[in-house]
């Protein structure tokens, strides 16, 4: 079964709620809203918000319980891509077959659109109920997206651009730059469902394994990153082991974890 078929309902729900969240805030100046919506709707598999909803379901929750966290994390992911594409970082002209946000709207508007998406993400997180849940979600997402998470990994990656990185450095960068946002996607789903401490620990481990595997698989497809410090065969084996660990965690949740299992299988299918 294709990814889009398996997650048809989740994807439709995410798209509908994301459009509503962005369009409900349309005001003057119009260009910032156009840039935000352009960045948010230029394709992508919505892997992170789908993971949030799947983790919520595995812990006994419903999609509506986790949609605030799912949308917030997708907005943070989108802002990170807008900023990564800027001339000061990756300097990319195209993203998913479309001109990058700064090519379409100008560099200044792209920077501000990224800032606005990040800010809106935390506004949405405050809508979670009860308030104690919202506070926990805000803290966990902030930690994952900040200097000890995604941003820290990005900075470490930039710092090592001019030399060959060690395996230890690749692990650190991958766990922060990519892994932390995927880890917190799973964690946000569990917290939104009111999961028990045991379930939260298990889901967090699932997210950690899947997050690192995600980056290893990307590096295999791009022939860089982990492929610079180990053979493609060794990297593929590492990804497969991590995915296997994630599936073992998902198994402990029983039939409600079917979508967590499928996400792991989908990632396994991408290993070249």
pLDDT tens for each residue of 123-174: 999 999 899 999 999 999 999 999 999 999 999 999 988 788 999 999 999 9
CA–CA gap between residue 58 and residue 50 (Å, rounded):
12
pLDDT in tens, 83-118: 999 999 999 999 999 999 999 999 999 999 999 999
Average pLDDT over residues 232-246: 98
120 pLDDT higher than 80:
yes
Residue 162, pLDDT score: 79
Domains of the chain with bracketed CATH: 3-269 (1.10.600.10)
| Helices 258-269 and 197-222, packing angle to 10 deg | 20
**Residue 141 and residue 186 in contact, taking contact as beta carbons nearer than 8 Å:** no
Residue 210, pLDDT score: 98
Write phi, then psi, for 239 (nearest 5 degrees): -60, -45
Reported confidence tier of residue 176, pLDDT bands at 50, 70, 90 = very high
For the entire predicted model, the pTM comes to: 0.97
Residue 163, pLDDT score: 85
Helices (H) and strands (E) in the chain, counts: 14, 2
* Cis ω before 54 (30° cut-off from 0): no
Query: What is the three-class DSSP state of 94?
Result: strand
Residue 48, pLDDT score: 98
Residue 198, pLDDT score: 98
Residue 157, pLDDT score: 94
1 pLDDT higher than 90:
no
CA 80 to chain centre: 10
7 pLDDT higher than 80:
yes
Residue 109, pLDDT score: 98
User: In b/e form, how buried is each residue of 97-130, taking b as 16+ CB within 10 angstroms?
Assistant: eeebbbebbeeebbbbbbebbbebbbebbeebee
Residue 182, pLDDT score: 98
Residue 160, pLDDT score: 84
Residue 161, pLDDT score: 84
Sign of CA dihedral 81, 72, 148, 111: positive
By C-alpha distance, which of 165, 162, 164 is closest to 173? 165
């Amino acid at each position: 079964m294709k990814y889009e078929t398996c997650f048809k309902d989740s994807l439709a729900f995410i798209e509908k709620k994301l459009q509503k969240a962005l369009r409900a805030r349309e005001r003057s100046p119009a260009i910032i809203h156009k840039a935000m919506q352009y960045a948010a709707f230029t394709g992508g598999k919505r892997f992170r918000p789908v993971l949030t909803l799947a983790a919520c379901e595995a812990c006994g929750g419903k999609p509506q319980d986790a949609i605030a966290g799912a949308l917030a994390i997708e907005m943070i992911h989108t802002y990170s891509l807008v900023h990564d594409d800027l001339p000061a970082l990756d300097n990319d002209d195209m993203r998913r077959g479309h001109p990058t946000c700064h090519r379409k709207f100008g560099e200044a508007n792209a920077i501000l659109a990224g800032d606005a998406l990040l800010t809106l993400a935390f506004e949405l997180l405050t809508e979670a109920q009860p308030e104690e849940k919202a506070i926990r979600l805000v803290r966990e997402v902030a930690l994952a997206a900040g200097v000890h998470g995604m941003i820290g990994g990005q900075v470490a990656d930039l710092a090592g651009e001019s030399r060959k990185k060690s395996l230890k450095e690749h692990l650190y960068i991958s766990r922060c730059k990519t892994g932390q946002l995927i880890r917190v996607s799973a964690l946000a789903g569990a917290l939104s469902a009111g999961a028990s401490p045991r379930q939260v620990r298990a889901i967090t481990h699932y997210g950690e394994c899947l997050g690192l595997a995600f980056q290893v698989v990307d590096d295999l497809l791009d022939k860089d990153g982990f492929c610079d410090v180990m053979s493609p065969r060794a990297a593929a084996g590492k990804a497969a082991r991590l995915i296997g660990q994630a599936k073992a965690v998902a198994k402990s949740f029983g039939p409600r974890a079917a979508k967590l299992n499928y996400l792991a299988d989908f990632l396994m299918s991408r290993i070249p």
